[in-house]
Structure 1
Amino acid sequence: MIVLPQDHRTAIAAHAVEAHPEECCGLMLGTFDDGGDRVVRELLPISNARESEARHNRFLIGPMEMLKGEREARARGLDVVGIYHSHPDVPAVPSQFDLDHAWPVYSYVIVTSHADSTGDLRSWQLREDRSGFDEEQVGTPDGGPPGRT
């Protein structure tokens, strides 16, 4: 499970609407708890480094941005626990491109974005054999039901 506070869901949704009709992206910084859950403590929005003609259905976090994120996390006593991005006007389900570029261990939060709103926010984990993703529960810090974005 990924524990994602409502204020972070709201921030991801705002980033997605702002970037629409292009994909937004960012890192989720937090901790891995004893049960293997990822607990998001901070977000690090990142500019989509993909070539402009492909940003409507692809995102890219450049290697220097990833390194910067890892250093920021470490300086705050946190880890990079996941990556978020938007899918403009399509379901929050990983694409083949997402699968081809996914890394193990991370949670992948995807939010459906529209010009003035967002839809579903879902999280996924890459299978160990890299054959696909499994959906994971998105929880709240208080253990209550997940809220909408």
Structure 2
Amino acid sequence: MLNIQYDQIQKLKVHAEKTYPEECCGLLVGKISGESKTLIDVKPTDNSWDQQTADQFMTINSSQWRSSSKASSFSIAPIVLLKAQKDARDRQLDIIGIYHSHPDHQAIPSEFDRAIAWQRYSYIIISVQQGKAGELKSWRLDDNHQFQLEEMLIV
């Protein structure tokens, strides 16, 4: 279960609308207690997806050629991830997940999303239809590396 506040949901949606028609992305920072996660901070990041990144990811899960377009892919630069991880640890927090948007698509993970996902993380996907953020869902991997819908509790 992911405990999330209404204003955090709004922050996710605003970021998704701001970057439309490209995918937005960012980090979810908080606390983990057993199977429950509490979101403390939403950390928007730049979408660093480019042709070089697309080329590097071609080997993942037999992926076919991936576009360099940020409209259908996202990446968080490793240096940004490392800095966020250090900042979180300095505050006795953890990165508990990643979020991104799906412009003009449903809030359902793609096969590529699954291939690059990490265990224990929450993956929030925001559907943005014609520039307006709508459906927002959180997903997590099960023991078979398949996405399962994760319950979100607005606190």
Aligned to 1:147: none
The aligned amino acid for 1:22 is E
How far did 1:119 drift? 1.1
Residue-by-residue CA offset, 1:42-63 (whole Å, 9 max, x unaligned): 1111100101742111110121
Question: Is there any run of 5+ residues in structure 1 with no aligned partner, and where?
Answer: 142-149
Tell me the distance in 2 between the aligned counterparts of 1:114 and 1:75: 38
Judge conservation of contact 2:25–2:76 (CA < 8 Å) in 1: yes
How far did 1:115 drift? 4.1
Aligned to 2:54: none
Please give the root-mean-square deviation of Cα atoms over the aligned residues, in Å.
Answer: 1.2
> What SS does structure 2 have at the residue aligned with 1:54?
coil
Question: Is there any run of 5+ residues in structure 2 with no aligned partner, and where?
Answer: 52-67
> What SS does structure 1 have at the residue aligned with 2:15?
helix
| Number of residue-to-residue matches in the alignment | 139
How far did 1:74 drift? 0.8
Aligned to 1:76: 91
Aligned to 2:151: 137
Q: Indicate yes or no: 2:133 matched with 1:121.
A: no
The aligned amino acid for 2:39 is V
Tell me the distance in 2 between the aligned counterparts of 1:4 and 1:114: 23
Aligned to 1:112: 127
Aligned to 1:49: 48
Tell me the distance in 2 between the aligned counterparts of 1:71 and 1:136: 26
State TM-score, norm by structure 1: 0.89
Aligned to 2:10: 10
Tell me the distance in 2 between the aligned counterparts of 1:82 and 1:126: 11
Structure 2 matches for 1:28-107, cutoff 5 A? 28-33=28-33, 35-51=34-50, 53-107=68-122
State TM-score, norm by structure 2: 0.86
Tell me the distance in 2 between the aligned counterparts of 1:139 and 1:74: 24
The aligned amino acid for 2:45 is I
Tell me the distance in 1 between the aligned counterparts of 2:24 and 2:95: 17
